[in-house]
């Protein structure tokens, strides 16, 4: 058999050549791949270095505030740095020849500028994380010894805490009960009203059905008159029927009637017609006056039900609701068992629920009976307005008699309603809590003192408003800053403004309540501040370090309201007018001092022994107000420091007040913690920074993304590398037939 090849010698050499070719191609691709990989890493490092270098173009105006934001165009810096990092010094052999094709830097948009709260806060915290703890610990912990203060004042503040919640409820309950008492008196008078009582309860004998009693028909003065006159009503209606028959007969003209007979007949007709008219008038009067009397009873008791009784029920429900809330709070205070509450019987602040429940049951019973009475009166009225045959005495009287049975129901409901009202009035009068004459005298005396001190405090506070006319120029500054704040607020999606907690000086009760609330927030913030509020504390210290809150502090000195003197106050409260921010700080300063004096007074055993909790509260409020007014005069009028601890707190510490002296600025640190939303204070800080530096923070990006496109020459098989690029194995493409191009990105932020 013949074959194509004469010999098989040399076959191995052919296979070896094929294998060597494959290996050579693989090595060629691998070498170029390694060169591309090295070039990509070189470009990546160059991009990162370039972006960092580009970020050196920050705004140096913001450096004193610890803020960094791009000001200049970073593109040229980026391109120069990338080129230098890709440049290769002259050498006989270059394994890679990376070449920059193009580059660009893209700054962050609105989401990553210093106007963004997250970005802004992060930079501030980075700046303050080494500084704030030192200052805060030194000023707050060393000076005010928060741990001891919390522990030693806890007992005295327990009563103030519960009374700050109970006292408004107590006042509301007493107001509701006062109004209820007035309404109850009106209800009692209405039920016992002689004129109406006689109309309902007076008994009547039936009127004999004879002609002598015809004139009695229609004289309906009491409800039973309607029943008593039924027999005579039947007689009159029957008589009308007879008269009408006679009239009909008389109207027939006889034959051969003479003129004289005609005249006599016409006179008789006229007389019959008049008699019928008179009798029908009596029936009409009976119907009209019965409807009128039933309507009067209906109106009287509907008015009683819809007005006095409805209002009384609402007031009593309010009183019960408030009483239950008071009892719940007092029970909780008893469970907590604060030191002060051991000496004061807070149970005097509420009624036992069974007492008020009895009042409600009696009032509900009276209301139900009055409603039923009014409904029965309506039914009586409807009897006369329904379909009745007023010409058929038998059927008419039968229907009226059946309908007028409701009069007895009215009398029964009236008697029950009266008994309920009188019983309620008696029980209410007996169980209503009232002060003794001595307690009332003490209460009135201290109310007068409290009112005088409150008025004095109000006058001091009102002096701030007297400066308004002299602060027009400052108002323009505040408005300019506030407009900037609104701009930053818009950038940050219109975060809702938080109002400052201000002292309520409308009256001494509300003053005590608001002062105690402010004190609770301050003490709570201080006790948790070093842990829960770390970031906010750091930011607050940043505010105090970089912005002003300085003298003067007198409310009669217009410089006290200048923006340059009170930048921190604007950041805290955010009012767009000059006087309002310092006025708010002044108000809270008074509240804080008032609260401390209130706690101190409640530690006085003489005050705790006064008896009724409401009396104790009034006395301590009056004396605390006097102490707060004196503190305000020291800190704001004289610019001096005052004792942090009022007398009884200081005694409990075994120290004198001079060991703990505080001034206005010390209190501002507290107010930064306890006022408004942290986000809004940050935005106002941005606005003040903008105003003072002239730099719009929304134009200062804090992040940049650099992008560089490079290429490297290919030594072997460009087509194979181009195929790998197009299939996604490599991230790039072949250009100019023998160079592989790729792009790298890098980002950096302050």
Cα separation, 232 vs 223, whole angstroms: 16
Q: Where are the alpha helices (DSSP H) in 463-566?
A: 472-491, 508-529, 534-546
Place of tokens 């209503």: 432
**Cα separation, 160 vs 212, whole angstroms:** 81
User: Which three-class secondary structure state does DSSP give residue 743?
Assistant: strand
**pLDDT above 50 (res 136):** no
Q: Is 19 exposed, middle or buried (0-12, 13-18, 19+ CB in 10 A)?
A: exposed
What is the pLDDT at residue 546? Answer: 92
Kindly tell me if the per-residue pLDDT of 316 is higher than 60: yes
pLDDT score of 375 more than 60: yes
For residue 504, what pLDDT is reported? Answer: 55
pLDDT at 278 over 80: yes
Put simply, whether the predicted model's pTM sits higher than 0.85 gets the answer no
Best CA proximity match to 41, nearest among 103, 86, 102: 86
**Based on the number of CB atoms within 10 Å of its own CB, is 399 exposed (0-12), middle (13-18) or buried (19 or more)?**
middle
By C-alpha distance, which of 493, 640, 626, 623 is closest to 553? Answer: 640
Buried b (16+ CB within 10 A) or exposed e, 604-628: beebbebbbbbbbbbbbbbbbbbbb
**Could you report the per-residue pLDDT of 397-441, keeping only the tens digit for each?**
888 888 888 888 888 988 988 899 999 999 999 998 877 778 778
- Of 279-288, 382-391, 579-588, the poorest mean pLDDT is in 382-391
Alpha-carbon distance of 195 to 189, in angstroms, equals 11
pLDDT confidence of residue 578: 84
pLDDT at residue 510 in the model: 55
pLDDT tens string 531-578: 456 778 888 889 988 999 888 888 778 888 899 999 999 999 999 988
Closest C-alpha to 315, from 429, 424, 179: 179
Encoded tokens for 14 = 């052919």
The answer to whether the CB of 367 falls within 8 A of the CB of 305 is yes
Q: Are 96 and 39 in contact (CB under 8 A)?
A: yes
DSSP assignment string, 174-228: HHHHHHHHHHHHHHHHHHH-HHHHHHHH---PPPP-SGGGGGGTT---SHHHHHH
């Amino acid at each position: 058999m013949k074959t194509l090849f004469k010999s098989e010698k040399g076959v191995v050499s052919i296979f070896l050549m094929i294998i060597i070719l494959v290996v050579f191609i693989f090595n060629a691709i691998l070498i170029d791949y390694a060169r591309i990989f090295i070039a990509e890493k070189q470009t990546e490092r160059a991009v990162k270095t370039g972006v960092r270098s580009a970020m050196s173009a920050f705004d140096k105006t913001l450096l004193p505030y610890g803020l960094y934001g791009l000001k200049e165009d970073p593109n040229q810096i980026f391109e120069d740095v990338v080129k230098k990092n890709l440049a290769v010094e002259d050498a006989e052999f270059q394994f890679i020849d990376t070449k920059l094709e193009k580059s660009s830097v893209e700054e962050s948009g609105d989401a990553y500028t210093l106007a963004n709260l997250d970005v802004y806060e992060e930079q501030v915290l980075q700046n303050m994380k080494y500084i704030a703890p030192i200052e805060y610990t030194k000023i707050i912990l060393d000076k005010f010894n928060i741990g001891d203060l919390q522990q030693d004042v806890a007992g005295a503040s327990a009563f103030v805490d519960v009374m700050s919640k109970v006292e408004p409820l107590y006042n509301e309950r007493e107001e509701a009960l006062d109004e209820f008492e007035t309404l109850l008196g009106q209800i009692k008078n209405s039920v016992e009203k002689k004129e109406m009582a006689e109309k309902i309860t007076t008994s009547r004998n039936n009127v004999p059905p004879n002609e002598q009693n015809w004139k009695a028909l229609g004289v309906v003065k009491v409800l039973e008159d309607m029943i008593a006159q039924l027999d005579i009503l039947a007689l009159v209606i029957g008589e009308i029927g007879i008269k009408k028959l006679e009239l009909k007969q008389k109207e027939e003209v006889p034959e051969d009637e003479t003129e004289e007979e005609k005249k006599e007949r016409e006179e008789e007709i006229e007389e019959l017609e008049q008699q019928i008219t008179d009798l029908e008038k009596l029936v009409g009067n009976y119907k009209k006056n019965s409807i009128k009397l039933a309507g009067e009873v209906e109106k009287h008791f509907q008015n009683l039900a819809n007005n006095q009784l409805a209002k009384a029920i609402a007031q009593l429900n309010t009183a019960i609701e408030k009483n239950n809330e008071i009892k719940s709070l007092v029970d909780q205070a008893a469970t907590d068992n604060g030191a002060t509450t051991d000496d004061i019987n807070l149970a005097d602040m509420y009624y036992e629920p069974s007492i008020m429940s009895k009042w409600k049951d009696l009032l509900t019973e009276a209301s139900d009976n009055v409603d039923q009475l009014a409904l029965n009166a309506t039914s009586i009225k409807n009897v006369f307005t329904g379909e009745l045959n007023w010409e058929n005495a038998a059927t008419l009287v039968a229907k009226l008699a059946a309908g007028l049975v409701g009069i007895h129901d009215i009398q029964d409901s009236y008697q029950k309603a009266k008994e309920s009202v009188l019983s309620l009035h008696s029980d209410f009068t007996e169980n209503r809590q009232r002060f003794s004459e001595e307690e009332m005298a003490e209460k009135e005396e201290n109310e007068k003192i409290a009112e005088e001190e409150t008025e004095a405090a109000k006058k001091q506070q009102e002096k701030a408003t007297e400066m308004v006319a002299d602060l027009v120029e400052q108002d323009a500054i505040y408005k300019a800053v506030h407009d900037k704040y609104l701009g930053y607020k818009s950038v940050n999606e219109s975060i809702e403004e938080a109002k400052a907690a201000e002292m309520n000086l409308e009256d001494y009760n509300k003053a005590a309540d608001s002062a105690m609330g402010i004190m609770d927030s301050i003490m709570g913030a201080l006790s948790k501040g070093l842990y829960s509020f770390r970031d906010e504390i750091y930011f607050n210290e940043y505010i105090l370090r970089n912005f002003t809150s300085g003298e003067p502090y007198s409310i009669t000195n217009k410089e006290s309201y200048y923006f340059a003197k009170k930048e921190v106050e604007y950041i805290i409260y955010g009012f767009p007018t000059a006087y309002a921010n310092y006025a708010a700080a002044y108000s809270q300063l008074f509240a804080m001092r008032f609260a401390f004096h209130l706690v101190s007074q409640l530690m006085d055993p003489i005050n705790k022994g006064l008896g009724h909790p409401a009396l104790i509260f009034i006395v301590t409020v009056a004396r605390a107000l006097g102490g707060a007014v004196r503190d305000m005069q020291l800190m704001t009028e004289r610019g001096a420091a005052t004792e942090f601890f009022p007398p009884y707190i200081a005694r409990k510490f075994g120290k004198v007040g001079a060991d703990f002296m505080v001034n206005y600025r010390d209190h501002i640190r507290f107010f930064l913690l306890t006022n408004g939303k942290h986000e809004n204070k940050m935005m106002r800080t941005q606005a003040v920074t903008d105003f003072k530096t002239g730099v719009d923070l929304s134009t200062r990006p804090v992040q940049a993304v650099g992008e560089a496109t490079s290429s490297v020459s290919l030594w072997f098989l460009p087509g194979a590398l181009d195929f790998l690029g197009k299939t996604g194995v490599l991230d790039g493409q072949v250009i100019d037939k023998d160079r592989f191009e790729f792009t790298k990105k890098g980002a950096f932020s302050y």
